[in-house]
Amino acid sequence: MMKLALIIGGSRGLGLALAEQYRTAGWVVYEFSRSGTGEGHIELDLVGNDFSAYTNLLQQLAQADWQEIVLINNAATILPIKPVTQMGQDELMAALQLNFSHPLLLLHEFVVTFAQHPARKVLAQISSGAALRPIAAWASYCASKAGVDHFMAVLALEQSTAKYPILAIVLDPGVMDTAMQATIRASDPAQFPELARFIARKEQGVLRPAAEVAQFCRAAIARAQQGLRYDIDG
C-alpha cells in the first residue's frame, strides 16, 4: 500500500530536505510553496487567498487507498524583525497570514477531507522555541507559532476520540542552518537585541544541517503519539 507525504513550505531548507527524504523512502510526495519547481510541486501562495489547487488535490488524494498519510506544515516567515511600535499594519498582517491564519485554513481542510480515511494519519506542525518564550522584535513570529501550537493541542484533544484519528503533533527543530537564520543574522542590531547571539551560533558551527533535522522529524512522525511535542534538544 502507498504512503503519502504532504509538505506545506517544501521548496527549500527543512521542507526540501523532508520532501527529498520521504521521496527517497518510496513515499508519494507533494510540496506546496511559491518557489518550488521540482517533482510534486504544487503552486501555493500563503499570502494570497487562492488555495484551490491545494483543496482540489486533497479531495482527489482522499479517494486513494493509502496506508499512511502525513501532512507537515513548515510554512513560516521570521519577518518583520522589529519592535511592535515600528511594525506597519500591512507587514504585520502579511506575517500573520503566512504564519498563522492561512496555515490554519490548510490544516482544517486536511482534517475535514481525511476525517473518514482509515489510514494512519499524522499532522505535524514545525514549531519553534519562540512559541514558548518571548523574543524581542519577534512579536508576529512568537505569537503565530504559539497560536498554531495551541490549535494543534485542541485538535489532538478532539481527535483522541475520533473513529479514524489524526495524530496531531508539534515538532521543535531547534536551530538550523537555513535561509531563515541568514535573514536573522542580517537584521538591524538596533531593532533586534539578540542579534549577536545568533551570529555567534553560526560562527561556532552549532547550527544543524536541514537534512539532520529532517531525519529527526521523520523519526518523531513515525513514532507519533497524540498531542505530544517532540523537541530535537530533548
Phi, psi of 150, rounded to the nearest 5 degrees: -65, -40
Active site residue 230: no
Contact 157, 204 (CB under 8 A): no
**DSSP-assigned beta bridge partners for residue 29:** 5
**Grid cell digits, residue 227:** 498531542
Q: How far is CA 154 from CA 34, 79, 91, 151, in A?
A: 29, 27, 28, 5
Query: Which amino acid, one-letter code, is at 104?
Result: L
> Which of 30, 54, 141, 230 is the catalytic position?
141
Phi, psi of 169, rounded to the nearest 5 degrees: -130, 165
Which residue, chain included where needed, has cell 524581542?
Answer: 136
Helix (H, G, I), strand (E, B) or coil at 113: helix
Contact 73, 98 (CB under 8 A): no
Phi, psi of 6, rounded to the nearest 5 degrees: -115, 125
Angle, helices 102-113 vs 52-61, to 10°: value is: 20
Catalytic residue set: 141
